Amino acid sequence: MDELYLRIEELEHEDWFSTFLNSVVGAFDPHTTYMAPRTKERFDQDMSGKLEGIGARLLKKGIYTEIFELVSGGPAWKQGELEAGDVILEVAQADKEPLDIVGMRLDDAIKFIKGKKGTEVRLTVKKKLDGTTRIISIIRDVVELEETFVKSTIVEKEGKKYGLINLPRFYIDFSDIDSRDSAKDMEKEIARLKSENVSGLLIDLRNNGGGSLKTAIEIAGLFITEGPVVQVKYRGQDPIVKNDENPKMQWDGAVVVLVNELSASASEIFAAAMQDYGRAVIIGGNQTYGKGTVQSVIPINNFYPKYEKDLGAIKMTIQKFYRVNGGSTQIEGVYSDIAMPNKYSYMKFGERDLTGALIWDKVPQANYTKTNSYENFSDVINKSKNRIALDEQFKLINEYAKWLKENQEDTSYSLNFKDFSKESALLEVASKKYTNAFKNETKLNFESPKYEFPLMEKDSVLADKRTAWHKNLAKDIYVAEALNVLKDLKLKNTTDTVRN
């Protein structure tokens, strides 16, 4: 409670203004929001996957600002003196007087530590290891947040190699069209996996909340020759068909797309296109999130050009998007060809459970050509469904999902402390039954593609991250089943096309 009141006391006029404005614009739909300048900066950072600063993640501990983690390859990491657990006491811009940041709110402290590429910041730091105080000079630079970007790994199964590509977000830097984005990186990653002779690709879009519509269209274009990918529509106007205009198909082999209930927006555009074209098997949760709306970010200063202070921006819903088959992904999302039980299976979750969400509707179907890439598409799906239905671990996960649903619906708590303690103890005992629900040991061995070997030799942090990722993948029951599906898919020798 003390920490809660401390945070409330730190709130400034900008915070209260943001709360007020969001209560107004939130009445339009769940995705129309006001972004204060600090929020807009974080949004741009998330979209581009990069920032200008020292490359350190900070956290607030009481009245102190502490280093939580260094970004691998960032300026602080390269400089080598700053470490996780160190406490920043003062911040100075180059040779100017240092500013005491003890007791300062974290957002304000970050504002002084971050800065333009090439500028110097001098941090007075209390070291975690020996408690000594020292001044550390760091030259700021562009920091790329690697966990935002595409990464891949290779796994061998029954004598064949398969590539898994993880795409956490459809990222792009709108201020620099020549910089890296998710489509360029995806094309590059596929080329690298092709050079290692993989037989199929598993695209992991779990927990990918979306991002750039442009890159979603371009990535879909890597798996088809050319044609419509998505339709967008303003209110009261005819739909506009957005096409992949590049006739080159970067990958013509087998594809499986792994999704869950947190795959949203641009993820749903890509998954829907792959499903409508018959280009990939969609496997994962019952359905994706169901966000079928398009937002535009409009700086408020556009309307007040003479006002010098940054007023932030409005992220406004302006369009809905539709599949090439005409249906919207709004509310419905994309239904998996193969649904696997998970903890969200019976929960109230997704766009359909948000107050004020726009309704589902449809538009005329676009003119597109199905690839019908596989000769055993239905057989593979039925085989996987039977495998899942008979699997004891999936049965336990399904039981766990039902138990979570029951607890979600039980919203009453006893105010008698003894009764409350007794109920909590019973709940804890019941939960132990599901402790091993997601613990899955496979014999799969994941390895980084060859181009990463020299990078990991130079960067032990990257090597550790990849080791941890590969270890988690080897325990992932959803990845294991998706790879079973990928292995079973057989491409047609000659492509039969169906005109729609």
Which positions are catalytic? Answer: 265, 276, 291
Tell me if 185 sits within 8 A of 219, measured CB to CB: no
Number of residues that make up the chain: 500
CA distance linking residue 206 with residue 167, whole number of Å: 8
Strand partners, 254: 200
Structure tokens at 98: 């240092």
Say how many C-beta atoms besides its own lie within 10 A of residue 44's C-beta.
Answer: 17
Say which residue the tokens 């937002």 belong to.
Answer: 295
Tell me if 74 sits within 8 A of 84, measured CB to CB: no
